[in-house]
Amino acid sequence: MMKSSFAIATGVGLLFLAACNGPKESADAAAAPAPVPAAAAKPGTTAADADALVAEVDKYAVDNAARLGAAFWIAQTYITDDAQLLAANATEEQLEFQSAKAEEAKRFNDTPGLSPETARALTLIKLGPTMPAPSDPAKRKELAAIAAKMDANYGAGQWCRPNAAGQEECLKLQQIEKIVDNVELKNTPAQIEAAWNGWHQTSRPIRKDYQRFTELMNEGASQLGFKDTGELWRGGYDMSPAEFDAEVERLWGQVKPMYDDLHCLVRDKLNKKYGDAVVPKDGLIPAHLLGNMWAQQWSNLYPLLEPYPGQDSLDVSSALKAQRDAEYKTLLAAFKGKPTPSDIAELEHKADAAQAVKMAKVAEDFYVSLGFPKLPESFWAKSLLVQPRDRDVVCHASAWDMNLKGDVRIKQCIEPDEEELTTIHHELGHIYYYLSYNHLRPVFQSGAHDGFHEAIGDTITLSLTPEHLKKIGLVKSVQKNDKATINSQMKLALDKIVFLPWGKLVDQWRWKVFSGQIKPEDYNAGWWKLREQYQGVSPPNARSEDDFDPGAKYHIPGNTPYTRYFLSFVLQFQFQKALCDASGFKGPLSECDVYGNAEAGKRFIEMLALGSSQPWPDTLEKLTGTRKMDASAIIEYFTPLIAYMKEQNQGKSCGWKVPEDAPAAAAAAPAT
């Protein structure tokens, strides 16, 4: 599944306008009626004036995409004070332009005679920015500077500790994650806790920055007509914020019972491994023991959870590591003379880079098999695929559309493991979405909604079945029986199902912060209340308001809305079912592999080509035949595992106590 530093789409295509996360009006309003004869209009508010405004916004995007995109790219790939300044200036410029054009677009609310295309474009423009900026230039400049500072703090974060020789060594996030991930299940709880603490302390310096950041964005949102930034974000789904709240709760209600069963099973296994003093038989699971820095996905616990050991070897990571080691041996054998430590480090880096390209080519091949084009040569020349040896970078995986017309690239510090391979497939989903809608005018170059953008690549990963992995040489053998099926589904559920409550709660916290329901003096306490409520996890030790644990997750300092991921984890199964039906597949959904199927590819490409040019229910209907997001495909996919978990949990005390002020709907399932 996605590498724990969860991947995002970025780049100028998503930064200029409303983009895929910009609020939109209701579906009925956004569709817009057919043009009607224009009534008398005030000067500057005619349909022609509206057309001119949209054209101006499009022109700004085209003229400035490459220049501003370069500033953001450099800021994440060369973390220096100078790069921060460039990024802050670019952000300030964008915020000024967005705010001005959003305000201008409001003039046309009652303008008759608008074409449907212009009406849609105005909706995207006037309700768009995810970082709403105040109209005051000084405050706008301050907001941009804080955003750049928080981003750089995350990228430069490190944990320093004494090494075995008693000397101080400083570890970056990727190195700290290796301890917390505990893939071999050999690290002690104390070792994991120390590493967990080490990373989480890196966000302490931005606590006050985030408070001011929130104040400034709320002022900007208010000037756009919203109560706060959270209401603005929730308005971006062709429905009212209240309707969107209800929609998210409905989807969560569909999948929550499965998460509760999985939580119960995992807690029991961890209790047996570590004992009652570390993991209680009932109640909350200590978050640091779940094989992930944020406890957002638990796939590293699969060896402990494997239902039927020996049924299938699903160790893709070992195969990828073996490929990388073979590359290193080839490079070493070709080296002339005796290599110095510096030479060896360089050869190791070259081996890492070669393996990263190989893994990216595997992902590209899947898309090409469906009818997508090969990636442009500039992708391979300009992408950052491995951690550089000479500088800090923001390793958080992201996909970039640099100029709205083909300069696409990813930034990812790829390592040879299964999570990274899956992340590459995810990132290329963003890339191919960009390329598919690059023919549209810039204002429509974004996803149908932001959850669509995140779901594309993940849909592809659902075809990475054991049989497919065998075909591409990453697993040796595949057994087809009920036990092997449950093994495979358990491994996937530890990513896909486990993620769902996390995907929901991150923005639940932010929305409460934006609205003032969670006050600055309760930032950390409010964060852990929600994690207890939704995930059933607890911090490894006592936390205080000196801590700022939300800021240890990239999307908080990076100001990336997160409910998009929750929605994407629903949509990807819905998309996969539609693609499998289109391909003619007749077996269990969990066994469907659409690799090479022209009809499935045609349907997918046609949907992506629409961008945000129409309300998302219209786009969803084009692929799936339905206008509603629906999690029933998840239940269908995991039906064998659901039955297995119900059987395993018989007689166990399942569920956990939730905070007193938590809504009843969010309470855990009763004991089975």
**Residues 284, 278: Cα–Cα separation, whole Å:** 11
- Rounding to the nearest 10 degrees, give the CA dihedral for residues 122, 123, 127, 131: -70
**Residues 123, 30: Cα–Cα separation, whole Å:** 7
184 is catalytic: no
DSSP 303-323: HHH-SSTTS----HHHHHHHH
**Residues 123, 105: Cα–Cα separation, whole Å:** 8
Give me the catalytic one of 200, 263, 468, 555: 555
Residue 603 annotated as lining a ligand binding site: no
Give me the catalytic one of 142, 364, 427, 532: 427
**Residues 479, 308: Cα–Cα separation, whole Å:** 12
Residue 454 annotated as lining a ligand binding site: yes
User: CB–CB of 74/138 below 8 Å?
Assistant: no
| Token pair of 424 as six digits | 């590459």
**Residues 528, 526: Cα–Cα separation, whole Å:** 6
Picking from 422, 408, 396, the residue whose alpha carbon sits closest to that of residue 293 is 396
Residue 468 annotated as lining a ligand binding site: no
Residue 210 annotated as lining a ligand binding site: no
Residue 419 annotated as lining a ligand binding site: no
Picking from 183, 38, 207, 186, the residue whose alpha carbon sits closest to that of residue 494 is 183
Burial class (CB in 10 A: 0-12, 13-18, 19+), 115: middle
**Residues 424, 555: Cα–Cα separation, whole Å:** 19
**Residues 430, 433: Cα–Cα separation, whole Å:** 5
377 is catalytic: no
Strand boundaries in 495-625, DSSP class E: 537-538
**Residues 594, 430: Cα–Cα separation, whole Å:** 19
Catalytic amino acids?
A: 427, 555
Q: Which residues are annotated as a binding site for Zn(2+)?
A: 426, 430, 454
Q: Which residues are annotated as a binding site for chloride?
A: 237, 564
